[in-house]
Structure formats: C-alpha cells, structure tokens
Structure 1
Amino acid sequence: MFKHIIEKIEQFETIIIHRHVRPDPDALGSQMGLKTMIQQTFPEKHVYAVGEEEPSLTFLGRMDRIEDSRYEGALVIVCDTANTARISDDRYDKGEVLIKLDHHPNEEPYGDIVLVDTTVSSTSELIVALQEDTPILTLNEEAAFLLYAGIVGDTGRFRFRNTTGETLKRTALLLDQGIDTQQLFNQLYRRSLPLVRLEGHILQHFELFDDKVGVMRLPKETLESFHVTANESSLLVNCFSGVEDIQMWVFFVEEEESIRVRLRSKSIVINEIAKQHHGGGHPVAAGATAYSWEEVEIIIGKLRELAKQHI
C-alpha cells in the first residue's frame, strides 16, 4: 500500500492535502509534514495544504488559499480524518484521485486508496512509517519537527497507551534530524493568561458523579467572560483527569449552533457513546456533538451507567 501511494505522488503534478476541521497537532503535523517531504523530494510539483487555521497552532505552518481550478487533475490526500463530514474544505472530492491516510477506526472508508492503521499512535507516525518503507521521500529537519509535533500531541507527550515501541523507534528517526524539541514544547504548551484563569474556573466548578465521571459544562457566556475560544478550551480537557478514582470525563463546550462534546477515559471504551451522538473516535478519546443541553444530560446519564457497569 505504501508503494502504491508513492506511485500516485510521483504520478501527479498537483497534490492537495486536507485534514479535519478544528485541527490539532496531529492533523497539522501530518498534513504539513507530508507536504514538506513531497516538496523537498519533488520541487517541481505544486503541493498545497488547505483548511481553516487554528491561531494557536500557526507555528506549525500556514494554509494555502487556492482556486477551485487547482483541483482539476489533482491528487487529493486527506490526513487524520475518519469521516467525510469532518474534512476541512469540502472540495476534497474535486480531484482526480483521493487518498485517505488515518489512524482512527475505519468506519467510513472513503477515497480511491484507503490506508488506515489503528495500531499507530497518530497519523504523523503513519507518515513516518510511509517514509521508512519508501525512503524516496526526503525527511529533513522541518518535516521531522512537524511530524514530531503530531506524535507528541496524540500521545500526550508519550504518556498515553497508544505509545508503542514502534512509536519510539520512529520518533528517534525524527530526533536524529536535529529538531529543536524545546522550541516545540515552548510553543505547543504555552498558555495565555485568560486560558490559565479558565483552568482555575474549571478546577473549581467541574462536577464529579459517582466518584467516577467528571463533567464540565462551558456555555458560550463562560468562554466569552474569560476571552477564550472553544478551540482554545480543548487544551484543558485533561486538567482534572488526575482526580482520585475518576474513570472518565467529558467537556461540553457550547458553540454557535451546537455543543461540542469531548470524551475521555482512562480505560473504559467510550467511543460507542460518541457514535450515538454524531461523533466517534478512539476507544478512550472521542468527540461528539449535542444539539441541546437536554441532550447533554442524556450523554451524562449514559456515561454514569457505563461507569456503573465497570465497578
């Protein structure tokens, strides 16, 4: 499969790379890392990265603004996106060939070529595996920095159980490129004063049900009062995860027309609940969408019932 993907990259003169909406470090790291490697290997090709920007992560690269005509006869690659509804920039299907590269469960196998590996920590690690298998792609310091950021983001700095021996071996390949890890951590984990103050509010006001399920509701008014965006609040999703006996936790973040649901667990599988509410994801890290605070209460009830089943 790796060889087939490289053949397509070699074949097309225009390559457009997408990823999911509301990007995290892995989405941007895999997208921009792959773009950088292709550009370094094939400087004559036209390679673009598209989608909306996340202000807190622009240090990983800026998005390209391209006309619809660029998609004519182009190869389109979508990174780190399980289903088409979450692809940033809905022109992803306007090219000649579509490739899906992902590490989430393959519940929607869209595209002409589908490479999904749920055993890797991140799509960034999958890109490193691609380069390992087909070293024609140039891995330089810039690409290594981006892919390292993606792996760090999705492994929680190598603390999560998705960190394997292969993950560390591939990370070593990136470190061997001479990347400045201190620069990355300074950028990736910096927090504005408003965000720090919001964290204090969360620690004071989150609810704990049955000593097992942590819940935090963040209405628009709360975010506005702290001058923090819904996207920025994602940095705080694990801030009370170390509470004694807690097994799972959830953030409900109100947006303009819906409520974003961020689900996390130490070991109990919670992505089935996410699927029941317009979402999905990994077994212990998933996302969903609620459309009313009444639906929020239903989700909390399901989490509490699930926790009781695992006493």
Structure 2
Amino acid sequence: MTEATQILEKIKQYQSIIIHRHVRPDPDAFGSQNGLAEIIKASFPDKEVYVVGEDDSSLSFLATMDQVKDEQFTESLVIVCDTANQERIDDDRYKLAKEVIKIDHHPVVDPYGVVQWVDVQSSSTSEMIYHFYMKEKEQGLQMTDRAAFLLYSGIVGDTGRFLFPSTKERTFRYAAELVGYDFDRTAMYEEMYKTSLNIARLKGYILQNIRVSPQGVSYVKLTKEVMDQFDVKPSETGAVVGVLGDVEGIKAWAIFVEEETVIRVRIRSKGPVINQVAAKYEGGGHPLASGAKIHQWEDVENVIADLEEVCK
C-alpha cells in the first residue's frame, strides 16, 4: 500500500481533520495545506476540516486560518504539510491529536507521524498533494477550482516560477493540468510577486552593499537598525532572499536577519550543496535552499567560512 493510499484510508477513518504547516509560511506551505483541505472538503462533505497556524497578511490572498478549540484536537487526525521537523510546526496543539501524518518534500531530519510521506524529488509539497489526488481520484477524491488555484500557487512559489532545478517534467505536466481549472492566474501572480516600497528600498540597500569573495560567496547583515531604517519586519525579509541570485559571480549567499533572540540565516546556492552547512547551525533544508540560526554576530564569519569551503 502506497503512502498516498495509507493517507486516504486514515482520512476516511476520522470525522475531524486538522491540517498544519510550518511557521513563517511561504506559498507552498499555504498552498499544500489549504489545497489538501479543499480536496478533503469536496470529497467528504460530511467531515469537519480545519486549517490552523498564524495568519500571514502577505498570503491572505490564498487563505485565512480557522479558529479551533483545544478539545477539537483530541479526537482528530492531524496532517502536517511541508514541515521537515516538529520544531517548525505552526501551532503545537498537533500533539493533542489522536494521530499525526507528515507530508513533505524536504530531506528527512525528524521522522514523525504514523504515516510519513516524504518525496524529496517533488518540487513542492503542493505538487505532492496534486499527485495524491491523481493517484486516488478513482477512490472518490474530488478536485475543485479553488484547490487547483492553491496547489498551482504553491508549485509556482517553490519553483521560483519554474526556474529552480527542482522543476521536473512531472511538475510541468501537473501545472498544465492545474491551469485547466477556472482561476485567475494573472491576479495570483500579481499578488504573489508585488513588492512594497520599503521592501524595494531594502533590495536596493542589499545590492549597493554586495560583497563577493573569490570563491563566489556573498552575504549581507540585516541588523535591527537596518530593518528599522527601511521599516521592514524580520518576517518580511523572505521577500529579499533571492535578490542576489541573478548577480554574476555569486555561487552561494546568506542573508543574516536579526530577530529578538536569534539571528536567522537564509542560505541559497546556484549549485554547491549548502544544507549540510545549515545543519551545522541548527537548521537544514534543501541542497540549494536552506535556513539556519546563530546567536551572535561573531558567528557570521564561521558560517561564511563553511560556505567558502563548499564553494571551492
């Protein structure tokens, strides 16, 4: 029995299903979480299906979260989308659930759940959710225009508009099928990629302060003072991570973001594998896109030295 079939069987067993995703969500987290919820609602209209976690104003065009009482969890099946480790699950009440299922496309760093479906070859968890529908639609799963909109948005977000190497033949095939549903792709792209004036100015600051080592490593420090100067919150800095990706000569780069108690490190690469560097600093992720954290600015030099090593 495949993982997709096991998940469908678990869904059939429960009246209440609560779907989680990771903290600091991106379009794939929202797309996979809410796309799966829409498929289950359409396929099993008598079931109670909820999505939980913090709302995110930049992703409100995709969905808003439900308010769920603690007691609802105790008799529920929880499905966690797009989250490699339990520490990053948004809303830790998942621990109250009867059973937990993991659906994810990141390398395994924390096995959890009675069913663990992890496919690192998928471009996104949203692609996996559409694959789940395709494999099990003969068992009664239903696709809707809204579910298609959500899953397509997630795929677009995690593939960088189909530019990243994770984009495979299946990704394009599924995307082509999804655009056959009725939703406004133009409006979706406008919402996903619009840039506020303060973020645009911060991007300008980053580009004006580029430093590139002989090995092709670049980095920028976004201190509290810098973010205050541009009126940008740490949670908004995800919008600037890719700004160095088009600069000639850069192989890998890191954005250091000062938060209240830690310094968040967003690491990207054009080829050298960097997730092992992230793992060394309390993080992890994909070979070319990872996150980590450090606790003092002095550690920046160590992170950069490790990136230099993998870029040699």
TM-score w.r.t. length of structure 1: 0.97
Q: Is the 8 A contact 1:206 1:217 kept in 2?
A: no
Please say if 1:61 is aligned against 2:72.
no
Match of 1:240 among 225, 237, 244: 244
**Inter-partner Cα distance in structure 2 for 1:177 and 1:106:** 33
Q: Which moved more, 1:260-269 or 1:39-48?
A: 39-48
Match of 2:302 in 1: 298
Match of 1:117 in 2: 119
**Inter-partner Cα distance in structure 1 for 2:40 and 2:160:** 27
Match of 2:290 among 262, 286, 290: 286
- RMSD (CA atoms): 1.0
SS at match of 1:262: strand
Q: Is the 8 A contact 1:26 1:123 kept in 2?
A: yes
Match of 1:128 in 2: 130
Match of 1:100 in 2: 102
Q: CA deviation at 1:17?
A: 0.4
Match of 1:228 in 2: 232
Please say if 1:276 is aligned against 2:249.
no
Match of 2:11 among 3, 9, 12: 9
Report how many aligned residue pairs link the two structures.
308
**Inter-partner Cα distance in structure 1 for 2:267 and 2:68:** 35
Q: CA deviation at 1:206?
A: 2.6
Name the aligned partner's letter for residue 301 of structure 2. E
Match of 1:213 in 2: 217
**Offset from partner CA, 1:125-149 (integer Å, 9 cap, x none):** 0000000001122111101010011
Match of 1:263 in 2: 267
Q: CA deviation at 1:235?
A: 1.1
**Inter-partner Cα distance in structure 1 for 2:24 and 2:161:** 20
**Inter-partner Cα distance in structure 1 for 2:226 and 2:213:** 22
Q: Which runs of 5+ in 2 are unaligned?
A: none
Match of 1:152 in 2: 156
Kindly report structure 1 stretches of 4+ aligned residues shifted beyond 6 Å. none
Identity %: 47
Q: Is the 8 A contact 1:271 1:284 kept in 2?
A: yes
Q: Which moved more, 1:268-277 or 1:1-10?
A: 1-10
**Inter-partner Cα distance in structure 2 for 1:297 and 1:211:** 14
**Inter-partner Cα distance in structure 1 for 2:260 and 2:244:** 26
Q: Is the 8 A contact 2:85 2:109 kept in 1?
A: yes
SS at match of 2:244: coil
Q: CA deviation at 1:107?
A: 2.0
Please say if 1:193 is aligned against 2:188.
no
